């Protein structure tokens, strides 16, 4: 009888220990799931890549936010031979000649026959194509359209074409259209239920002044694309182009090798080699 009670007691102890172990595991998992996800920063030899929290990023887009203290952002069109570079491989080689590594790039506006920019294009302070204030058909002329420019200190700006003045003297500029956001408001011509779907890329200015570049992974309408920038807090954002859009992004091993463009926007860093 005593032997039987001892076995029963041992069995109860074993069950109790197992139950407590399971409870501790459950409590640990609940604690982890409630933990706030903080932005992660990785630092390697002076390079800083900030991975924004899931709250800020939309997995339907490939995006890049420029870090002005570490990175150089410019518009590019012609190579050293005076001909349009047209693709990211040429741009990558071009920046390497200046002891820089290309870390992100995308097409930077619409182009005409011969890969010439449509509308204003400025590179290294030189106007290579004039501002287009005319009327016409197509997305570029869906007013208001706008200008993305980089000033002499490397800060990015997006403004309506109607407010552009020559005395702004940008170092780099490209004109496109339509504007996606005007003072934080989605372009009045866009409709939430529009069936006009396409791959799209664009540029916006974040509340802290940083340049944010993005391209949709799947076809979206203008309203959804504009709303993407609005959710990030951008007040001004500009559409760059549609189905021809590609990105160069080593982070995800995307080289956009099949793309052919006029203007490109490139982000580079000083080479570590």
* pLDDT (0 to 100) of residue 3: 40
Please tell me the pTM assigned to this model.
0.80
| 43 pLDDT higher than 70 | no
Total tally of structural domains belonging to the chain:
1
Please tell me the distance from the alpha carbon of residue 124 to that of residue 128, in angstroms, as a whole number. 10
pLDDT band at 69 (very low <50, low <70, confident <90, very high): confident
Is 25 a member of any domain?
A: no
Mean pLDDT over each residue of the chain, to the nearest integer: 85
Is 84 a member of any domain?
A: yes
| Lowest mean pLDDT across 33-37, 193-197, 251-255 | 33-37
Q: Give the DSSP H/E element, type plus range, for residue 84.
A: none
100-154 pLDDT, tens digit each: 999 999 999 999 989 999 999 999 999 999 999 999 999 999 999 999 999 999 9
Is 22 a member of any domain?
A: no
pLDDT band at 21 (very low <50, low <70, confident <90, very high): low
Is 99 a member of any domain?
A: yes
| 13 pLDDT higher than 70 | no
Is 72 a member of any domain?
A: yes
Burial of 67 per CB tally in 10 Å (0-12, 13-18, 19+): middle
pLDDT band at 14 (very low <50, low <70, confident <90, very high): low
Residue 125 has a CB neighbour count (10 Å cut-off) of 11
Q: Please, what's the b/e burial string for 213-248 (b: 16 or more CB within 10 A of its CB; e: otherwise)? A: bbbbeeebbbbbbbbbbbebebbbbbbbbbebbbbb
- Please tell me which residue, 30 or 76, carries the higher pLDDT value: 76
Q: Give the DSSP H/E element, type plus range, for residue 12.
A: helix 2-33
Please tell me the distance from the alpha carbon of residue 126 to that of residue 144, in angstroms, as a whole number. 25
Is 117 a member of any domain?
A: yes
240-258 pLDDT, tens digit each: 999 899 999 999 999 998 8
pLDDT mean over 58-72? 93
Is 250 a member of any domain?
A: yes
| 169 pLDDT higher than 60 | yes
The domain of 180 spans 52-270
| Lowest mean pLDDT across 52-61, 90-99, 131-140, 180-189 | 52-61
* pLDDT (0 to 100) of residue 1: 41
pLDDT band at 56 (very low <50, low <70, confident <90, very high): low
- Among residues 219, 225, 220, 249, the alpha carbon closest in space to that of 237 is found at 225
Is 203 a member of any domain?
A: yes
- Please tell me which residue, 33 or 105, carries the higher pLDDT value: 105
């Amino acid at each position: 009888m005593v032997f039987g009670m001892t076995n029963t007691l041992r069995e109860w102890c074993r069950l109790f220990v197992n139950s407590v172990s399971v409870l501790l595991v459950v409590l640990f998992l609940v604690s982890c799931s409630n933990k706030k996800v903080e932005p992660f920063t990785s630092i390697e030899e002076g390079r800083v890549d900030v991975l924004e929290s899931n709250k800020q990023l939309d997995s339907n887009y490939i995006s890049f936010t420029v870090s002005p203290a570490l990175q150089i952002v410019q518009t590019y069109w012609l190579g050293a031979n005076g001909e349009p570079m047209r693709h990211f491989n040429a741009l990558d080689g071009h920046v390497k000649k200046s002891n820089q590594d290309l870390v992100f790039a995308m097409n930077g506006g619409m182009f005409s026959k011969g890969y010439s920019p449509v509308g204003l294009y400025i590179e290294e302070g030189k106007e290579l194509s004039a501002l287009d204030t005319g009327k016409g058909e197509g997305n570029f002329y869906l007013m208001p359209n706008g200008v993305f420019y980089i000033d002499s200190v490397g800060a990015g700006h997006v403004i309506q074409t109607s407010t552009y003045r020559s005395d702004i003297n940008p170092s780099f500029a490209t004109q496109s259209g339509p504007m996606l956001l005007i003072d934080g408001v989605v372009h009045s011509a866009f409709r939430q239920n529009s069936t006009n779907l396409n791959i799209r890329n664009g540029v916006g200015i974040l509340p802290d002044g940083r340049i944010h570049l993005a391209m949709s992974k799947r076809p979206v309408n203008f309203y959804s694309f504009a709303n993407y920038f609005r959710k990030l807090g951008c007040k001004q954002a500009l559409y760059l182009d549609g189905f021809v859009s590609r990105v160069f992004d080593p982070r995800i091993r995307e080289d956009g090798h099949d793309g052919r463009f006029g203007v490109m926007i490139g982000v580079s860093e000083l080479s570590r080699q």
